[in-house]
Amino acid sequence: MTDSRFNVRFDAGQADCRWQKAWEEVRCFEADSTSDKPKSYVLEMFPYPSGRIHIGHVRNYTMGDVLARYKAMRGHEVLHPMGWDAFGMPAENAAMEKGVHPAGWTYDNIATMKGQLKQLGFALDWSREFATCDPEYYGHEQALFLDLYEAGLVYRRTSAVNWDPVDQTVLANEQVVDGRGWRSGALVEKRNLNQWFLKITHFAQDLLDGLGDLEGWPEKVRLMQENWIGKSTGLQFAFDLSNGEKLDVYTTRPDTIFGASFVAVAADHPLAQGVADGNAEAQAFIEKCREGGTTAAELETAEKLGFDTGITAKHPFSGADLPVYIANFVLMDYGTGAIMAVPGHDQRDFDFATKYGLPITRVIAANADEADAPLTEAEAGDGVCVNSDFLNGVSVADAKAEVIKRIEAAGSGEGKTVWRLRDWGVSRQRYWGTPIPFVHCGACGVVPVPKDQLPVKLPEDVDFSTPGNPLLRHPTWKHVDCPKCGGKAERETDTLDTFVNSSWYFLRFASQPADKPFDAAEVAQWMPVEQYIGGIEHAILHLLYARFWTRALAHCGLVDVQEPFASLFTQGMVTHETYSRKDGARETYFTPAEVDRSSDGAVLKADGEAVDIGKVIKMSKSKKNVVDPEDIIADYGADAVRWFMLSDSPPERDLPWSEAGIEGCGRFVQRLWRLFGQIGAGGAGADANQDVALERRLHQTIAAMAEDFEALAFNKAVARIYELTSAIEKAEYSASRSEAIRKLQLLVAPMMPHLAEEAWAINTHGQFGLIAEAAWPDVDEAMLVEDEVTIAVQHKGKLRDTLTVAKGLPKEELEALALSSEKVQRSIDGAEVRKVIVVPDRLVNIVT
């Protein structure tokens, strides 16, 4: 009989709290490393504690949560942890702007955001929570950094960085907008600073090869990483110059060597510098090159410019004298900073040659007969060599090998592989980061801090009243005794890039002993992460760094995995239309809460006048098209919000937020609630009845949803729940119906855990524990097979009729049935039946 508690509306506010507390009390989401169940490590990218949770977090963590809960129901021991990527610039900016301490600001934000996450009822193991700014965490990170140093994977060298002269700090490339500091607006300078580097290039080949095995990763991300690593193979060789010196160039097209008509070097190349000494014209040209803009648009439209040095280079085979130019399109930091230019087969060289009247020779053609075909643009395609002396008629591939062989034999060069990937500069001249655990001693040089002196803690009394690195001007912090000789020494004042923090946090989640970063054996229990979920914006940097760091630790013998993330899923953004008014040139935006939206427009609540409805774009504070998760949880409850996050849009695509949509979700929560109250409805009489069709539907749904969850196709799982719900509602009371409702509670449990717990508790009278710890329902395979099927009957490929017949009906019978259909006969209209195609259990197509 219906429990009276189902007669009132489901009170999400109360139920959410009750069950969140219940889960916490029995610690049902704490992962046990010693469990002998199969292990599942489900991880979402941990958040930066910016202040408040935004809707993107909600979507990200809801997906991971459904998967984690589902895996647990399937009998897995699940590790689903949460922590904080807590170092970084915003904390220092807040310190400068509001006078708060970065630590206080960060931990306050963490407290707020943790509370918000808890309101969503995520099945997280909070016992493993940490923030990367905890001295304990960054102390272990310092230890790992020293291990990498020992292994030769850390070094220091001078390198050019983006220096903001106003803020007195280094900026990352993405913090430089149109050549100016994003915060100060000052023109960014290139400065040479002594910087710490990690040897990621040591693993370049390995990182590239590893991508091939990452079948659980989106092809797109693998490609992006491949491009980023940027392997190219070619030849590096030296030209003899007319001034008696040699010039190394690098080319990937040694096969086109006979087409070389000039040589070009970068403006920063030593040869260019040498020419500029005592040559004002050359000096001016180099200056001009440096001024050139750095933005994409400027580069695209930049004209090819060159300066003839007057020097010539001797072609290694033909002996011809090639002019040597300083050219603005040659990059100093790729290859050798100097190229042999082949205008016939490289568009940049072609443009340059055209401008300066240099020879353009075809040396590759589709076949030998087309050796003299004119070139109107550079041809980069395959073919055979022409106009190329000993290479004539040789294929591109063979010619490459042949030229490399001859150059190597002559001792003037060698085949070489060049990478786009650079070593990772990890120095930041900032306070709020992991101190690099080294000291500089006048006598001993750079000395690592002994591990027993870790962590090197950040000083707490810091001054943010002036720009620059507070560690550098701290009165006492940096003055220490040298660990080696005991003499006076200074601490390293650079801190580590925050990407280092996120390069190993998943290991610390898996295992957190006090005395070391992690325990290898325990890590082996969990790693690799079975499913990693996060934004596409981390496709390269974070994911590449984490792959590198894991390899580096394996290289040091600290872990036994190479690839940290077996599967990667990149979720789409949450979007919303914008509301604005144009006031002259200025556009004023309004939040959805300030606007009344109806099907025929939007008006501002304040004055009742219309506002413009703009494009549906990513939620952002500047466009004010945001909703606050806390508000919507308060209005609709956690389960309705979670349900919305999973509905409609495939998880990898953008999800448009809508008021109507969340209202629909809220209605559905209530609808399920009413249905959950109907177990046993109809009484004992109805209970004697069976409803095979409904049972079949139930088992099909269970099986299909399992597939959907495994594939993270939550939108499909949601649709199946709607379908099953409708089917149950329409069904006559029966034992089958009651059973279907019982199972429905389990099916929605991963997605709407609070509602499911509440109904489950009432319906089971608390006798079967928590639904969070219940098992996913079994599928009765026999029930998946339909005994009746609907057959489409087509005439000339168009649907004319459908037939409902017993499954497995022989072809002949199907054909006869189809032909006897009145609708089909009418369509055939006496024409001769020439052919009948019969696909058993599917369709009959009649051809006339």
Partner RNA sequence: GCGGGCGUGGCGGAAUUGGUAGACGCCGGGGACUUAAAAUCCCCUGAUCCACGGAUCGUGCGGGUUCGAGUCCCGCCGCCCGCACCA
Output the smallest distance, CB 615 to RNA, in A: 9
Footprint (CB under 7 A) of RNA, residues 508-547 = 536, 540
Establish if 493 lies at the interface with RNA (CB under 7 A): no
Output the smallest distance, CB 34 to RNA, in A: 40
**Binding span for RNA by CB under 7 A among 104-112, 578-586, 762-770, 837-845:** 837-845
Choose, by CB under 7 A, the member of 14, 367, 790, 820 that binds RNA.
790
Side chain identity at residue 229, one-letter code: I
Name residues whose C-beta falls within 8 Å of residue 500's C-beta, 6 or more positions apart in sequence. Answer: 141, 145, 426, 434, 545, 549
Q: What gap in Å lies between CA 606 and CA 537, rounded to an integer?
A: 37
Output the smallest distance, CB 403 to RNA, in A: 12
Establish if 96 lies at the interface with RNA (CB under 7 A): no
Footprint (CB under 7 A) of RNA, residues 663-702 = 663-664, 667-668, 670-671
Read off the DSSP letter of residue 497.
-
Q: What gap in Å lies between CA 600 and CA 606, rounded to an integer?
A: 18
Could you tell me the sign of the dihedral formed by the alpha carbons of 377, 382, 388, 393, in that order? negative
Name residues whose C-beta falls within 8 Å of residue 597's C-beta, 6 or more positions apart in sequence. Answer: 659
Name residues whose C-beta falls within 8 Å of residue 676's C-beta, 6 or more positions apart in sequence. Answer: 6, 741, 744, 745, 755, 759, 762, 763
Establish if 440 lies at the interface with RNA (CB under 7 A): no
Establish if 316 lies at the interface with RNA (CB under 7 A): no
Establish if 179 lies at the interface with RNA (CB under 7 A): no
Q: DSSP letter string over 333-387?
A: TSTTSEEEE-GGG-HHHHHHHHHHT------EESSGGGTT---SS---S--EE-S
Footprint (CB under 7 A) of RNA, residues 538-597 = 540
Task: Select 478 or 696, whichever has its Cβ closest to RNA.
Answer: 696
Output the smallest distance, CB 833 to RNA, in A: 12
**Binding span for RNA by CB under 7 A among 95-103, 441-449, 480-488, 652-660:** 652-660
Task: Select 296 or 684, whichever has its Cβ closest to RNA.
Answer: 296
Read off the DSSP letter of residue 435.
B
Q: What gap in Å lies between CA 309 and CA 279, rounded to an integer?
A: 10
Footprint (CB under 7 A) of RNA, residues 376-435 = 418, 420
Establish if 730 lies at the interface with RNA (CB under 7 A): yes
Q: DSSP letter string over 268-289?
A: TSHHHHHHHTT-HHHHHHHHHH
Burial 33-49 (b: 16+ CB within 10 A, else e): beeeeebbbbbbbbbbb
Q: Are 482 and 488 in contact (CB under 8 A)?
A: yes
Please tell me whether residue 840 adopts helix, strand or coil conformation: coil
Choose, by CB under 7 A, the member of 234, 517, 528, 564 that binds RNA.
234
Task: State phi, psi for 791 to the nearest 5 degrees.
Answer: -105, 130
Could you tell me the sign of the dihedral formed by the alpha carbons of 161, 165, 168, 172, in that order? negative
Establish if 833 lies at the interface with RNA (CB under 7 A): no
Establish if 250 lies at the interface with RNA (CB under 7 A): yes
- How many angstroms separate the first and last alpha carbons of the chain? 60
Choose, by CB under 7 A, the member of 599, 607, 781, 832 that binds RNA.
599
> How many residues interact with RNA (rule CB under 7 A)?
81
Helices (H), 216-291: 219-229, 270-276, 280-291
Output the smallest distance, CB 821 to RNA, in A: 11
Radius of gyration of the chain (CA): 34
Q: What gap in Å lies between CA 661 and CA 313, rounded to an integer?
A: 70
Output the smallest distance, CB 507 to RNA, in A: 27
Q: What gap in Å lies between CA 529 and CA 43, rounded to an integer?
A: 7
**Binding span for RNA by CB under 7 A among 19-27, 104-112, 461-469, 720-728:** 720-728
Establish if 839 lies at the interface with RNA (CB under 7 A): yes
Establish if 335 lies at the interface with RNA (CB under 7 A): yes
- Nearest C-alpha neighbor of 175 from the set 199, 60, 251, 185: 185
Establish if 113 lies at the interface with RNA (CB under 7 A): no
Q: What gap in Å lies between CA 183 and CA 189, rounded to an integer?
A: 15
Task: Select 523 or 844, whichever has its Cβ closest to RNA.
Answer: 844
Instruction: Determine if residue 488 is labeled as part of a ligand binding site.
Output: no
Task: Select 123 or 266, whichever has its Cβ closest to RNA.
Answer: 266
Output the smallest distance, CB 264 to RNA, in A: 8
Establish if 354 lies at the interface with RNA (CB under 7 A): no
Output the smallest distance, CB 463 to RNA, in A: 36
Burial class (CB in 10 A: 0-12, 13-18, 19+), 228: middle
Structure tokens at 14: 């109360």
**Binding span for RNA by CB under 7 A among 126-134, 423-431, 682-690, 789-797:** 789-797
Establish if 655 lies at the interface with RNA (CB under 7 A): yes
Footprint (CB under 7 A) of RNA, residues 193-222 = 219-220
Establish if 610 lies at the interface with RNA (CB under 7 A): no
Establish if 820 lies at the interface with RNA (CB under 7 A): no
Establish if 842 lies at the interface with RNA (CB under 7 A): yes
Establish if 312 lies at the interface with RNA (CB under 7 A): no
Task: Select 174 or 609, whichever has its Cβ closest to RNA.
Answer: 174
Task: Select 150 or 813, whichever has its Cβ closest to RNA.
Answer: 813
**Binding span for RNA by CB under 7 A among 61-69, 291-299, 381-389, 738-746:** 291-299
Name residues whose C-beta falls within 8 Å of residue 287's C-beta, 6 or more positions apart in sequence. Answer: none
Choose, by CB under 7 A, the member of 136, 150, 729, 786 that binds RNA.
729
Output the smallest distance, CB 837 to RNA, in A: 4
Going by DSSP bridges, is the β-strand pair 495-496/427-428 parallel, antiparallel, or unpaired?
antiparallel
Query: Could you tell me how far CA 480 lies from the centroid of its own chain?
Result: 41
Side chain identity at residue 432, one-letter code: W
Choose, by CB under 7 A, the member of 649, 734, 738, 821 that binds RNA.
649
Establish if 620 lies at the interface with RNA (CB under 7 A): no
Establish if 654 lies at the interface with RNA (CB under 7 A): yes
Establish if 296 lies at the interface with RNA (CB under 7 A): yes
Q: What gap in Å lies between CA 636 and CA 328, rounded to an integer?
A: 60
**Binding span for RNA by CB under 7 A among 80-88, 397-405, 453-461, 656-664:** 656-664
Choose, by CB under 7 A, the member of 166, 521, 799, 816 that binds RNA.
799
Please tell me whether residue 151 adopts helix, strand or coil conformation: coil
Cα dihedral 108, 112, 113, 116, rounded to 10, equals: 170
Output the smallest distance, CB 708 to RNA, in A: 9
Mask for 758-777, x = binds RNA (CB under 7 A): --------------------
Task: Select 49 or 254, whichever has its Cβ closest to RNA.
Answer: 254
Choose, by CB under 7 A, the member of 150, 722, 768, 769 that binds RNA.
722
Establish if 51 lies at the interface with RNA (CB under 7 A): no
Choose, by CB under 7 A, the member of 26, 302, 688, 775 that binds RNA.
302
Establish if 837 lies at the interface with RNA (CB under 7 A): yes
Going by DSSP bridges, is the β-strand pair 438-441/39-44 parallel, antiparallel, or unpaired?
unpaired
Establish if 230 lies at the interface with RNA (CB under 7 A): yes
Establish if 723 lies at the interface with RNA (CB under 7 A): yes
Facing residues of 181 across strands?
176
Structure tokens at 113: 């955001």
Helices (H), 513-571: 520-526, 541-555
Task: Select 34 or 599, whichever has its Cβ closest to RNA.
Answer: 599
Establish if 31 lies at the interface with RNA (CB under 7 A): no
Establish if 792 lies at the interface with RNA (CB under 7 A): yes
- Nearest C-alpha neighbor of 846 from the set 790, 806, 799: 799
- Nearest C-alpha neighbor of 228 from the set 249, 268, 200, 191: 200
**Which residues are part of a known binding site for ATP?**
621
**Which residues are part of a known binding site?**
621
